[in-house]
Amino acid sequence: MITKLIKNSLMPISAIIFLLTMVAWLAGSFDEKVAPGLDNNLQQASTNNNSYTLSYSEQVIYEPISGAIEAKQATIISSRILASIEKITVRAGDTVKKGELLIELERSELDAQVLQAQERINALSARYREAENNLQRAKKLFVENLISATELDNSKASFESLKAELTAAKQALTQAQAIAAYASIMAPIDGKVVNRFAEPGDTAQPGQKLLAIYNPISLRVEANVREQLAMGLQQGQALKVEIPSLNQTQLAHIDEIVPTANTASRSFLVKANLDYNAALMPGMYARLLLAAQTEQVLKVPNNYIETLGQLNFIWLLENNQVQRRFVRLGKAGADNKTVIISGLNVGDKIMKPVQR
């Protein structure tokens, strides 16, 4: 009985002892203790001039100005005559060359007018040659006193009248040919078709828009810049431009500053030329980045920054000891340095990460 009681008591005691032993092991009670201070790798780093002392750097603060991409060279294609559309050779998005046929209008009536004008010239030319010969004969006969001065004058008048009619007929032919040429509408510039407003079978009215074309090499950013910033801009100046939809930033050069302010917004229209980019299209949203002011910031070389999950930290050397300091990062710059928003101060000495 007693033996059984002792055996039942030892089992929970053994379980408790086992649990306490496991907790102590997990807490590192059985590991070898290391005295506080620098470990070998960090101690070596601190003696190899792998440290960096923080100081203020001057950073330019850019003000984003909303704008849009527009084509400097754009044109609306329309007809000069009233005619039915027979053929349109392009659609929106097509690339065209200057002088390329875009639209063909119905021209049978126009060609008939050209033929009519040509036949009239042929008829008048025959009568003109006959009148010229009659005038020459009249002059000879007048010299020989065989005809009167009145008859000579009549020959001259007939000749001059036919000469005038022939000149007018030639001008009418030129005009008819010019009008007939309007039936074939050519591309006035190299470019890309933006939109197509008509289809074959439609009747083209004079001045009615049929196609819209722009030159993709002539794209630029147009933005209204507040007058305080606009006063510091100059023609030809390089500006940064952000295109959010493409996640791109590129340079643009000021081509024009409209010398009249918008009285409602107190701003000036600034137009800056962009380098050719096949992804850019008119109407896209863009932002001009204009230097508005400067500020003092702390910057750290990128190779001094380590990441732990979503946290960023830096090894800080303080009182001859290296400690991990979590920091909040700002924007990375083109100088391979990143702005420190919080976590460090001027004069702090940081260490370059090493293999631990």
244 and 310 in one domain? Answer: no
Expressed as residue numbers, the domain containing 302 is 40-60+296-351
* Residue 115's CATH number: 1.10.287
Nearest to 280 by CA among 309, 246, 252: 246
pLDDT at 33: 46
Nearest to 350 by CA among 45, 39, 56, 38: 45
| DSSP element (H, E) containing 269 | strand 267-274
Per-residue pLDDT tens listing for the chain (356 residues): 555 545 555 666 676 776 777 666 555 555 444 444 445 555 554 545 577 888 888 777 888 999 999 999 999 999 999 999 999 999 998 999 999 999 999 999 999 999 999 999 999 999 889 888 988 988 888 888 888 888 888 889 988 998 999 999 999 999 999 999 999 999 999 999 999 999 999 999 998 999 999 999 989 999 999 998 888 899 999 999 999 999 999 999 999 999 988 888 899 999 999 999 889 999 999 999 998 877 788 888 888 888 888 888 888 888 888 888 888 888 887 778 888 888 888 888 888 876 55
102 within a domain of the structure (yes/no): no
270 within a domain of the structure (yes/no): yes
pLDDT at 7: 55
283 and 346 in one domain? Answer: no
pLDDT at 139: 87
94 within a domain of the structure (yes/no): no
336 within a domain of the structure (yes/no): yes
Number of domains present in the structure of the chain:
3
pLDDT at 150: 86
287 and 219 in one domain? Answer: yes
* Residue 267's CATH number: 2.40.30.170
Domain end residue (candidates: 182, 204, 236): 182
Nearest to 39 by CA among 47, 27, 31: 47
35 within a domain of the structure (yes/no): no
Contact 198, 77 (CB under 8 A): no
Domain end residue (candidates: 244, 268, 292): 292
96 within a domain of the structure (yes/no): no
Domain end residue (candidates: 270, 292, 314): 292
Please classify residue 105 by burial: count the beta carbons closer than 10 Å to its beta carbon, then call 0-12 exposed, 13-18 middle and 19+ buried.
Answer: buried
276 and 308 in one domain? Answer: no
12 within a domain of the structure (yes/no): no
120 and 145 in one domain? Answer: yes
135 and 156 in one domain? Answer: yes
303 and 256 in one domain? Answer: no
- The two tokens of residue 5 are 């009681």
* Residue 341's CATH number: 2.40.420.20
101 within a domain of the structure (yes/no): no
CA distance 335 to 284: 30
pLDDT at 3: 54
